[in-house]
Amino acid sequence: MTDPRMNDHEIEALFAAARAERAEPSAALMARIMDDAMIAAAEAAAPRPVAARPVAAQTGRRGLVAVLVAAIGGWPALAGVATAGVFGLWIGYAGPGDVGTLTATILGSAYGPNDLVPSLDTYLTEG
Amino acid sequence: MPFDAADQDTDEALLLAYGRGDARAARVLTLRLAPWVLAYARRLLRDAAEAEDVAQEAMLRLWRIAPDWRTGEAKVTTWLYRVVTNLCTDRLRRRRRGAALDEVPEPADDSPGAETRLQQAARVAALDAALARLPDRQRQAVILRHIEGLSNPEIAAILEIGTEAVESLTARGKRALAQALAGRREELGFDDD
């Protein structure tokens, strides 16, 4: 009777099968990762948040800027504003002609605009 | 084509360029790194949705460290593998605390492909199931060595252990796999000859 355990050669065949099976990330995930990249770039470009200081230090005298920032929702809101600014600048720089070009610029030609939005077919199909 | 030049750059050069505000560098890094980050997370977690979360979180950490990245200290891929490994370890610990080890059933491959494709799928499923039963460190070392194809020194840097410990982990891991898969040789298409 032969040894039921797998030999190295056979286990290597299993590893090879695992290496070959590599699911590609969805366009939605790639888009989320790129969104994060743009937001992180904007955060890095924005001034260091005051929140890094101890909370007690903030409660005393507040400057005009701090009041204005607080009025629009604090530094996170400013990060959003900065994101929009950076992204706008980048769009101007990259100069994409239309949405298709923009998508190709961000994600490469393997993805199209249709990959970024859920298909309406799901809602239109009867059954 | 203005965007092709960046494809030739190293990961580190691209990361530094992104840190200086180059959006094209982020695109190239995403296309280059996200697929294997996701694949590695999937193999460790055996859960597609959780693996996507981990991939996004690991890439976010990469974006955030970009402005402070120290040139020449670590390879970008080594750093990312370490982040993914740690994120997955945390999730697996939480999963075990919450419930018994989640035995995620492998999706059945009922596509009308060739028989070899079904057999490959069966082999991957059997391997994944056997890997899931290994202790965390053994599983990580075996995956990094035999599926991701990394060298022992690279794995040592990722797992923050010595090279000899890596060799020991992979050797014990492979023995445990051979044991766990005992009796399934014929089923997985390994005929005695």
The identity of residue B105, as a single letter, is: P
Residue B2 falls inside a structural domain? no
Residues of B in contact with A90 (CB under 8 A): 23
Please give the tally of structural domains in chain B: 2
Q: Which of B21, B48, B192 sits opposite A2 (nearest CB)?
A: B192
CATH number at residue B129: 1.10.10.10
* C-alpha to C-alpha distance for B86 and B104, rounded to whole angstroms: 21
Could you read off the pLDDT tens digit of each residue along chain B, which spans 193 residues?
444 556 789 999 999 999 998 999 999 999 999 999 999 999 999 899 999 999 999 999 999 999 999 988 889 999 999 999 999 999 988 887 776 444 444 455 455 556 777 888 889 999 999 999 999 999 999 999 999 999 999 999 999 999 999 999 999 999 999 999 988 888 888 875 5
In this complex, do B26 and A37 lie within 8 Å of one another by their Cβ atoms? Answer: yes
pLDDT in the model for residue B11: 95
- Its ipTM equals 0.82
In this complex, do A29 and B52 lie within 8 Å of one another by their Cβ atoms? Answer: yes
Residue B131 falls inside a structural domain? yes
Domain assignment of residue B80, given as a range: 7-100
Is B84 in contact with B140 (CB distance < 8 Å)?
A: no
Mutate to test the interface with A, among B38, B145, B179, B186 (most CBs of A within 10 A): B38
* C-alpha to C-alpha distance for B30 and A34, rounded to whole angstroms: 7
CATH number at residue B39: 1.10.1740.10
Residues 6+ apart with CB under 8 A from A80: A42
Closest Cα of chain B to A27: distance in Å?
Answer: 11
Closest Cα of chain A to B80: distance in Å?
Answer: 14
Residue B90 falls inside a structural domain? yes
